[in-house]
């Protein structure tokens, strides 16, 4: 009888635990947007932390080091946007004015394959107008989404800043959650992962800047129209392994072939291929020799999964998250293999 009561007590305890866990997950679901914003802020703080620690090595107060890093990164980004926006707007206007001319050249192809919307500029405009009329019903939702994006961005950056001010906040959390006998190992592993992934992420940004700037300069040298837009696309898409450069190559051939000559388009494509070879075989190995080299398949998967779940921000920040998980799993499997060999 006592054993039955004991079993009943254990069962009720289990039920209560499951109910409590369900309640916690339900509450997290209700505030899922805030949870996602917090995670993005945490990822930014983790990416910036090695640079902050580097300044701390020069005995700089942490608050001053955090301010310097954040102002430097976002200041440079704002500076680039401020000075390149006029060029971008000018080329967009120029392209829109030349749109009828380009449609005359490409419309026979699209008409032949049965794409009516792109068979003429009139059909394209009509299709675009109809879609805009349908979407105009949700204009207030669109405006709310736009301002919600500004709010979420500000919230994410604020969280990241304050998390960066707190020294070793992630390490302290891991120490609380980790078993005591594995605590030292997990903290050391996390610090290595953080340094490697931050370095890899920074190296990829530099590589993308290299590809974008060099592509822009080459297009300017050959007096190609829309050089800035094409260079920007080349730099941004270069972050996506294999697929990004392939899409860029196709766009270069189409834009230059239609707006200039197909011979020049092929010539520029060859130069872009050489730029990719320099980036893949010289620049990236030099930048990432001290950091982890994430498998391209992992990068593609993280970009797709992050974009599908959390949109544009998810596509960006899913890469370091998957990278840290990849390093943890890799380290665990390697250690397990070593232990098996010893036994």
pLDDT tens column, 187-214: 777 777 777 777 778 888 888 999 999 9
Contacts of 142 (CB under 8 A, 6+ apart): 135
Q: What is the mean pLDDT of residues 134-138?
A: 44
* 114 three-state secondary structure: coil
C-alpha dihedral (309, 312, 318, 319), degrees to nearest 10: 140
pTM for this prediction: 0.69
Please give the C-alpha separations between residue 325 and each of 130, 148, 197, 343, in angstroms, as whole numbers: 45, 30, 10, 27
Percent of the chain with pLDDT over 70: 74
Contacts of 338 (CB under 8 A, 6+ apart): none
Residue spans per domain, the chain: 33-98+142-167
**The pLDDT value given to residue 290:** 60
Q: Is 268 exposed, middle or buried (0-12, 13-18, 19+ CB in 10 A)?
A: buried
At 90, which helix (H) or strand (E)?
helix 62-97
Give the separation between CA 161 and CA 140, rounded to whole angstroms: 31
Whose CA is closest to 99, among 128, 72, 74, 73?
128
Whose CA is closest to 264, among 223, 233, 211?
223
SS (HEC) of 281-331: HHHHHHHHCCCCCCCHHHHHHHHHHHHHHHHHHHHHHHHHHHHHHHHHHHH
Give the separation between CA 229 and CA 97, rounded to whole angstroms: 16
- The answer to whether 219 and 230 are in contact (CB under 8 A) is yes
Tokens of 143: 């405006």
Give the separation between CA 157 and CA 81, rounded to whole angstroms: 18
Place of tokens 């232990």: 339
User: pLDDT, tens digit, for every residue of 100-133?
Assistant: 666 666 666 555 555 554 555 555 555 555 554 4
Concatenate the DSSP letters of all residues of 225-270 into one string.
Answer: TTHHHHHHHHHHHTTSTTHHHHHHHHHHHHHHHHHS-HHHHHHHHH
**The pLDDT value given to residue 185:** 75
The whole-chain average pLDDT of the chain stands at 76
Q: Tell me which of 1-10, 116-125, 234-243 is least confident.
A: 1-10
Give the separation between CA 114 and CA 263, rounded to whole angstroms: 28
Tokens of 68: 């310097």
- Greater pLDDT, 311 or 69: 69
Provide the pLDDT confidence category of residue 327 given band limits of 50, 70 and 90: confident
Instruction: Say if residue 1's pLDDT is above 80.
Output: no
Provide the pLDDT confidence category of residue 11 given band limits of 50, 70 and 90: low
Instruction: Say if residue 3's pLDDT is above 60.
Output: no
Provide the pLDDT confidence category of residue 155 given band limits of 50, 70 and 90: confident
Give the separation between CA 255 and CA 222, rounded to whole angstroms: 14
C-alpha dihedral (307, 310, 313, 314), degrees to nearest 10: -60
Please give the C-alpha separations between residue 143 and each of 48, 139, 298, in angstroms, as whole numbers: 32, 6, 35
User: pLDDT, tens digit, for every residue of 31-73?
Assistant: 777 777 787 888 888 888 888 888 888 888 989 999 999 999 8
């Amino acid at each position: 009888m006592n054993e039955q009561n004991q079993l009943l007590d254990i069962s009720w305890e289990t039920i209560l635990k499951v109910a409590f866990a369900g309640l916690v997950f339900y509450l997290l679901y209700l505030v899922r947007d805030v949870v996602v914003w917090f995670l993005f802020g945490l990822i930014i703080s983790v990416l910036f932390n090695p640079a902050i620690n580097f300044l701390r090595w020069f005995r700089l107060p942490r608050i001053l080091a955090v301010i310097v890093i954040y102002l430097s990164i976002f200041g440079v980004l704002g500076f680039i946007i401020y000075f390149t926006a006029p060029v971008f707007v000018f080329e967009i206007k120029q392209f829109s004015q030349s749109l009828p001319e380009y449609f005359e050249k490409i419309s026979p192809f699209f008409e032949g394959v049965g794409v009516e919307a792109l068979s003429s500029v009139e059909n394209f405009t009509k299709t675009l107008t109809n879609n805009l009329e349908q979407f105009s019903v949700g204009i207030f939702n669109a405006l709310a989404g736009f301002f919600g994006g500004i709010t979420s961005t500000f919230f994410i950056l604020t969280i990241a800043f304050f998390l960066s001010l707190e020294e070793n906040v992630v390490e302290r959390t891991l120490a609380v959650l980790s078993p005591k006998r594995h605590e030292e190992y997990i903290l050391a592993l996390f610090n290595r992962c953080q340094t490697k992934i931050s370095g890899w992420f920074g190296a990829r940004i530099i590589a993308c800047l290299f590809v974008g700037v060099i592509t822009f300069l080459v297009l300017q040298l050959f007096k190609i129209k829309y050089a800035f837009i094409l260079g920007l696309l080349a730099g941004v898409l270069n972050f996506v392994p294999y697929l990004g450069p392939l899409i860029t190559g196709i766009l270069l051939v189409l834009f230059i072939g239609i707006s200039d000559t197909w011979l020049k388009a092929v010539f520029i494509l060859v130069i872009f291929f050489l730029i990719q070879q320099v980036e893949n075989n010289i620049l990236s190995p030099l930048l990432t020799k001290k950091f982890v080299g994430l498998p391209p398949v992992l990068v593609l998967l993280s970009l797709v999964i992050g974009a599908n779940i959390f949109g544009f921000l998810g596509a960006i920040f899913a890469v370091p998250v998957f990278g840290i998980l990849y390093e943890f799993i890799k380290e665990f499997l390697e250690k397990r293999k070593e232990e098996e060999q010893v036994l």
